Amino acid sequence: MDTTVETRDPITDDIDAVIIGAGFAGLYMNQRLRDQMGLRVQVFETGEGVGGTWYWNRYPGARCDSESYIYCYSFDKDLMQEWEWSGKYPEQPEILRYLNHVADRHDLRRNIAFQTRVTSAHWDEADHRWTVQTDRGDTVRCQFLITAIGCLSTGQVPKIPGLDSFQGDWYHTGAWPHEGVDFTGKRVGVIGTGSSGVQSIPRIAEQAGHLTVFQRTAQYTVPARHGTVDKAFLDDIKTRYEDVYEYCRRSAGGQPYTLSERSALTVSDEERAAVFEAAWQEGGFKFLTATFNDIALDRRANDTASEFIRAKIRETVKDPEVAEKLVPVDHPFTSKRPLIDTHYFETYNRDNVTLVDIRHAPIEEITPTGIRTTDGEYELDVIVFATGFDAMTGPFFRMDIQGKDGLKLKDKWEHGPLTYLGVSTVGFPNLFMITGPGSPSVLSNMPVSIEQHVEWIGDVVEHMRAEGVETMEADQQAETEWVAHVNEIAAATMFMLADSWYLGANIPGKPRVFMPYVGGVGAYRQKCDEVRDAGYEGFNLSPAATPVAGA
Ligand code: NAP
């Protein structure tokens, strides 16, 4: 990866807004505030280019699980008509090309400082301004601070003893070299079988001399049935694009699929099997949405889907011993992030692939030549960490964010994130979080949630300027009630029945708190609209020149 850092003078402006991040969220927020509303905006971005998640995650097989025609912006109606997606699901290079195209089309780069990491943001109660500092020596003061930092942008490489001694190369899927990695003839080890592992393992297996997969938790995954997309289908979507997108905006997961209205428990075994089989053949998230309405809510209904997938694994994987290791038995389907794959289970039929069950024989150490588990040593030239992220709160904690009275966000969220609507947090006025914890975010098709937040935050700023409001801060009671609501509805789902990153369980010592809002993007949008229409109910809005006593 070219890590040359271009020299530039430090930025020392006093402006309206700082946006942190130039992925899907930051790009649109920039366009909204700068171009639609005429604010003076500075964007800071760590990468050399735009793209966020899609700039960093370049591992083999990286693509999105949302279908391409709906994994895009809807604010630019002409672009929706013009852009031609090439596959059923958008692959990483194509998404990155799309985001670069958006940046060019709207001239969004000119106020983005690349290769620049925000290190701190401190609120000054005396003049109601944020002071934002970066690792490039910039000091920018602004009224509004907006985080567009992604939910899965802080990669976690587990602290396994001996990594420093490893003589081969190692990579994390979320910080993949831009020039790619040639696995030809190499002995490769992949640790992790989440989305990144399940996508990359089949592709790495095709190239490697030998691939050893170190699996801690077996996974349920459904075929994606990825392939080229029928142009006639996309052309038809374009004739009713706004309706399709509006359906997503009002849906549960921001997806265009019709939800089944039937319980899995009200049909015969034969009918249920036929419904699952049809969805399995069609592929993708329809297995969740278009089959039955209670798979994620009712344990007995869930058991039928879990058992169907287990049978498929046993049918696909030829070696019964390997198949049993791949069959998930310790958590129900949908309790971890649902996965879709391309030839994942088939990969274990290859002669050059070995599955190692590290749940029962854990990794003890990384040696100079490989990985040692309690069962033996595996010699490797390359290790790939598909071990995930310090999700949702991790990207915030990399910065020193301090609100009123020097309150550190890290301290406030010590026992889990506390937000009102996932967009604001008490003690941090004029800080707005795009897809923050407590919003649907990672449980939804992200562009749909991102657009909703960007537009809602844009409305807030417009309202404040029109009404002469200088600061807006969540009210304590509103925040407490929202956090309770987020927890209450999560408790009724399968999500509480597995160790997942949604609960922070993948990070040693992280509090076990369910972080996203599971109520659905439609219900959430309605709540945000009601809050806005009621004059920002649950927020305290203060006019200019009302410094707090003692500040
Ligand atoms: P992940 O879902 O958190 O999976 C991490 C994997 O590494 C799990 O199998 C985990 O095992 C294992 N692991 C973690 N720490 C370990 C340790 N110390 N020792 C051994 N194994 C360890 O991470 P991810 O696959 O990068 O995906 C994260 C999220 O990013 C996804 O859930 C999804 O939301 C998003 N994503 C989406 C796409 C897509 O749209 N297609 C692609 C990639 C990522 P356990 O299960 O036992 O914890």
**pLDDT tens for each residue of 494-504:** 999 999 999 99
Nearest-CA residue for atom 14 of ligand 1: 387
- Ligand 1 center from residue 278 Cα (angstroms): 28
Q: State the pLDDT confidence band at 6, using cuts at 50, 70 and 90.
A: confident
- Ligand 1 center from residue 533 Cα (angstroms): 39
- Ligand 1 pocket mutation pick from 70, 195, 371 by most atoms within 8 angstroms of CB: 195
- Residue 513 predicted with pLDDT over 50: yes
Tell me the two tokens of residue 196. Answer: 């990144």
Nearest-CA residue for atom 20 of ligand 1: 216
> Cβ < 6 Å from ligand 1: which residues?
63-65, 152, 158, 173, 191-197, 199, 216-217, 337, 358, 386-389, 442, 499, 501, 506
273, 291 Cβ separation under 8 angstroms: no
Nearest-CA residue for atom 16 of ligand 1: 387
Q: Amino acid letter at 449? A: S
Q: What is the share, in percent, of the chain residues with pLDDT greater than 90?
A: 96
- CA dist 173 and 155 (Å) reads 8
Looking at every residue in the chain, the average pLDDT score rounds to 96
- Ligand 1 pocket mutation pick from 91, 344, 387 by most atoms within 8 angstroms of CB: 387
Would you state the pLDDT for residue 548? 46
pTM for the predicted model, two decimal places: 0.96
- Ligand 1 center from residue 386 Cα (angstroms): 6
- CA nearest neighbour of 204 among 337, 343, 377, 68: 343
**Ligand 1 closest atom vs CA 442:** 34
Nearest-CA residue for atom 5 of ligand 1: 387
Q: State the pLDDT confidence band at 4, using cuts at 50, 70 and 90.
A: confident
**pLDDT tens for each residue of 389-407:** 999 999 999 999 999 999 9
Q: State the pLDDT confidence band at 545, using cuts at 50, 70 and 90.
A: low
Question: For 343, left (φ over 0), alpha (ψ -120 to 50), or beta?
Answer: left
- Residue 547 predicted with pLDDT over 60: no
- CA dist 418 and 478 (Å) reads 11
Q: Can you tell me which residue has the tokens 């920039």?
A: 30
Would you state the pLDDT for residue 1? 52
Stretch 287-312: mean pLDDT: 96
- CA dist 305 and 298 (Å) reads 11
445, 256 Cβ separation under 8 angstroms: no
Q: What does the DSSP assignment read for 412-433?
A: HTTTS---BTTTB-TT-TTEEE
Q: Amino acid letter at 366? A: I
- Ligand 1 pocket mutation pick from 160, 389, 499, 506 by most atoms within 8 angstroms of CB: 506
Contacts of 71 (CB under 8 A, 6+ apart): 64, 89, 90, 95, 445, 446, 447
**Ligand 1 closest atom vs CA 197:** 25
**Ligand 1 closest atom vs CA 499:** 48
**pLDDT tens for each residue of 332-386:** 999 999 999 999 999 999 999 999 999 999 999 999 999 999 999 999 999 999 9
- Residue 2 predicted with pLDDT over 70: no
Strand 363-367, strand 129-134: pairing: unpaired
- Ligand 1 center from residue 254 Cα (angstroms): 22
- Residue 192 predicted with pLDDT over 80: yes
**pLDDT tens for each residue of 105-161:** 999 999 999 999 999 999 999 999 999 999 999 999 999 999 999 999 999 999 999
Nearest-CA residue for atom 12 of ligand 1: 192
Would you state the pLDDT for residue 550? 44
- Ligand 1 pocket mutation pick from 71, 196, 198, 372 by most atoms within 8 angstroms of CB: 196
- Residue 487 predicted with pLDDT over 90: yes
- Ligand 1 center from residue 106 Cα (angstroms): 34
- Residue 15 predicted with pLDDT over 90: yes
Stretch 321-328: mean pLDDT: 98
- Ligand 1 center from residue 8 Cα (angstroms): 37
Nearest-CA residue for atom 33 of ligand 1: 195
**pLDDT tens for each residue of 51-84:** 999 999 999 999 999 999 999 999 999 999 999 9
Nearest-CA residue for atom 31 of ligand 1: 195
Nearest-CA residue for atom 45 of ligand 1: 217
Q: What is the share, in percent, of the chain residues with pLDDT greater than 70?
A: 98
Would you state the pLDDT for residue 395? 98
- Residue 549 predicted with pLDDT over 50: no
Q: State the pLDDT confidence band at 551, using cuts at 50, 70 and 90.
A: very low
Q: Amino acid letter at 26? A: G
Nearest-CA residue for atom 23 of ligand 1: 388
**Ligand 1 closest atom vs CA 505:** 48
Angle between helices 241-249 and 231-239 (to 10 degrees): 80
